[in-house]
Amino acid sequence: MVQNLVVALIVVLALLHALSKYLPAAWREQIVYALARRGVDQAKAAKWLHTEASCGSGCASCKSCATPEPAAPTGHRVIKLHQRP
């Protein structure tokens, strides 16, 4: 009996983990909002379902908000040669 409950718990946790990774982002956001209406902490639910704000939050983890680096000049390339001692 206890073994069946443990197996059921493991299966449910695996299902929740798979859903948190592979559901479309819009569905995950709707789940976060539904959980928040029922009293679950919205920030924790958003973190668990990977729906946190990215660039708008200023986290700078994806580096896509940063200004792009200037491109190298397309003119002549300089090759430096050093003589061995």
On whether the CB atoms of residues 64 and 53 are closer than 8 A, the answer is no
Would you report the helix, strand and coil content of the chain in percent, each value rounded to 5?
A: 50, 0, 50
The pLDDT assigned to 2 comes to 93
On whether the CB atoms of residues 80 and 59 are closer than 8 A, the answer is no
pLDDT tens for each residue of 25-48: 888 888 888 888 999 888 888 888
Averaged confidence pLDDT in the chain: 80
In angstroms, the CA 55 to CA 57 distance is: 5
End-to-end CA distance of the chain: 80
The pLDDT assigned to 9 comes to 96
Residues 6+ apart with CB under 8 A from 48: 20
pLDDT tens for each residue of 43-74: 888 888 878 755 555 555 555 666 666 666 67
